[in-house]
Structures are given as C-alpha cells and as structure tokens.
Structure 1
Amino acid sequence: METKIGISAENLQAVTQILAKILADEFVLYTKTRNAHWNVEGKDFYSVHKFFEDQYEALDEIIDDVAERIRSLGHYAPATLKNYLQLTHLTEQAREKNDSEGFIRELLQDHQSIIIYLRENINRFANDYHDLGTSDFITGLMESHEKMAWMLRSHLK
C-alpha cells in the first residue's frame, strides 16, 4: 500500500536511501564498538570494557530507530551485512594492539564522521525533500552521537 503522508514518492525514496546509508553506518559502528568491548586489553580494561558496553547498547537502540524510521516511510530497511558494507562510508581497521586509546580514537573518528553526515542532511531533508519529521529525527541522532563523541574524547584528555 502506498504511503500517503504528504511527501511525494520520489522524496520518500530519496530520504530512505540516505537513511539506509545512516543505518549502515550505525551498524558498522555498533560492530566496531562491540569489537572494542570484546577485545580491549590493558590496565584500564574493566572500566573501558563497561564503557564500550554502554556505547554499543545505545547504538543498538539507534539502529532499531533508524530501521523503524525507514519502515514508517513505507520502505524496507537494508538488513544484510553485504548491504551495510556497500552503503557505509566507515572503514574497518586491522589492529596491531588492542589498547583502549587506539579503539577510542578510531570510534571517535567514526562518530565524528557520522555527525558530519547527519548535519549535512538535516536541512536537505527539511528543505529539499519536505520531510521535517526525518530532519528532526536525524537532529536527535546527531545529538546522541555528539554526546557519545564527547564521552570518547574525554578519555583522551
């Protein structure tokens, strides 16, 4: 059934294509944060192990919210690793050391990259695609990532 919510089908398609990229980024970042949680080593192991757990749990909620936003706009959310790897702009990195500082720097870079991408699309959703709901939604996502980035950044001081 066609989604009739005051946004053209073409605009809904464009919005959900961007949201699919955001979903892929979120899923890759979630996986990288899980990796940090599982594999971090060092004197600060316990505290950063728990810290990474808090972060991946928050990302898990974000992933679900983005997928549900795509569905609420009448489209299907990508849900395969192959799709995510094709859509994401994040990269996987091989690590020589599993130290907290290395993981934190890498995750911080990814959060900042996502923040920039979200910020670039806030006005685009509102002005070009006439979708104030998704504009507001990704503003909230951006704020969540800004807080998570601040937490990561604070570990590096």
Structure 2
Amino acid sequence: MEPALSTTSSAGGGQPLLHQKGAETQSFGTLKQLPIGLGHDTRKYACQRLNRVLADTHILYALYKKHHWLMRGATFYSLHLMLDKHAQEQLALVDALAERIQSLGGVAVADPRHVAELTSVPRPPDGVEPVPVMLSRLLDAHERILIDARDAAARVSAEGDEGSNDLLVSEVVRTGETQVWFLAEHLVDTPLVRA
C-alpha cells in the first residue's frame, strides 16, 4: 500500500503556494517615503518625468529589436549588428531609468501595455518598411526622447534633483546623441563605386 500524499508544507521541501492574489501594495503614480534628502513634490515630479522618458525608451528599444530583425539589403550585416548594439544600450537605459524611479520612492512603468499608454513615440506598421524609413523612424523616436530628456533634466535640476539630472544628461542624452549620429550617417546617399 502506498503512503497518502500530504498537502501540508514541511520544512525544506513543501509545496509552492501557487496562484496567489492580493491587492497592490503601491499604486502607480504614488510615492513611498525614503530618506534621500528630496521633498515629496520634487520626487513626485521627477518620477513623472522619468516615467515618460522610460516609456519612450522602452518603445525605442523595441523598435531597435524589430528593425534589427527586419533589416534588408546590401548593408544588412552592418546595420543588423549596429541596431542590436544600440538596442542593448537602450535596454541598459531602461534599467537605469526604472531603478532611479524606484530609488525616488516611485513605481516604474514596466508592463508593455502600460508603456504603450504613456509613450509619445508613434506606433509603426506591423510589417516591414523600407530600410531608410526604419532608420528615419528610429531617428524620430530618438529626437522625441532627447527633447523630453533635456527638458526634464533642466527642470529636475531646478528642483534640486541632481541625481535624476545626471542620469538624464550623462546617460540618456549622451547615448541618444551618439546613436543618432551613427544612424543618420547611414542615410547619406554616398556612391560606393564612383566618386
């Protein structure tokens, strides 16, 4: 006779407690108090601005991956590699922005459906576009982020939040400017075999 299976937990090897549900412990748009020397209103404003940049950066990352996969033509290999490198750099920015929001006591936008509600970057077609159009779409997304990040950096700095200012200028703006340079140079109509 086989022993009966126990459904009770024992030390060191119990059954996982699956399908748990519960109320939110912190709503999006709210702050928890953290002793970081910044006032509530300053932190709340910084979280709002950072979440906008974060949503757009999430979308830019996704656009880079989409275009990386859908690249075509004679420059396929170099663009395929470059777009993937840029995507990884944008993913690092997503993480840095989200962690800054959390360190201010806020809640970082994370779910792709929520990101889509907050982004200012227009949705591309679901299919494949010509290569110059895909590159132009990336440049447009970058410009939106750069304009917003510069404005946010100036405003949070005026509120005394130099940590958010540093992240926006040193990482978001500088990374974006470099990536724009690399992308834009691929749209110069330069003959390959005749001068």
TM range (shorter): over 0.9
Alignment match, 1:131: 161
2:37 corresponds to which letter in structure 1? Answer: G
Cα shift at 1:34: 0.5
For 2:44, give the aligned amino acid: Q
Larger Rg: 2
- Higher share of residues assigned helix: 1
TM-score by length of 1: 0.93
Give the Cα–Cα distance (whole angstroms) in 1 for the partners of residues 59 and 113 of structure 2.
11
Counterpart residue identity of residue 117, structure 1: D
User: Whose relative contact order is higher, 1 or 2, with alpha carbons under 8 Å and at least 6 apart?
Assistant: 1
Unaligned runs of 5+ residues in structure 2 are 1-31, 189-195
Identical-residue share of aligned pairs (%): 28
Out of 132, 147, 151, the residue aligned to residue 178 of structure 2 is 147
Cα RMSD, aligned residues only: 1.4
Are the counterparts in 2 of residues 122 and 138 from structure 1 also a CA contact under 8 Å?
A: yes
CA distance in 2, matches of 1:77, 1:116: 21
Which residue does the alignment assign to 1:28? 59
Q: Which shows bigger deviation, 97-106 or 52-61?
A: 97-106
Q: Distance in 1 between matches of 2:75 and 2:154?
A: 41
* Counterpart AA for 1:138: L
**Structure 1 segment 78-157 matched on structure 2, within 5 A:** 78-94=109-125, 97-127=128-158, 129-140=159-170, 141-157=172-188
Note the C-alpha offset of 1:48: 0.9
Aligned to 2:11: none
Write the distance in 1 (CA, Å) between the matches of 2:122 and 2:129.
Answer: 17
Contact 1:41 1:98 in 2 (8 A): no
Greater shift in the superposed pair: 94-103 or 80-89: 94-103
SS of equivalent residue, structure 1 residue 43 = coil
Task: Structure 1 unaligned segments of length 5 or more: list them.
Answer: none
Contact 1:37 1:53 in 2 (8 A): yes
Shift of 1:30: 0.5
Checking the alignment, whether the CA contact within 8 Å between 1:40 and 1:98 is kept in structure 2 is no
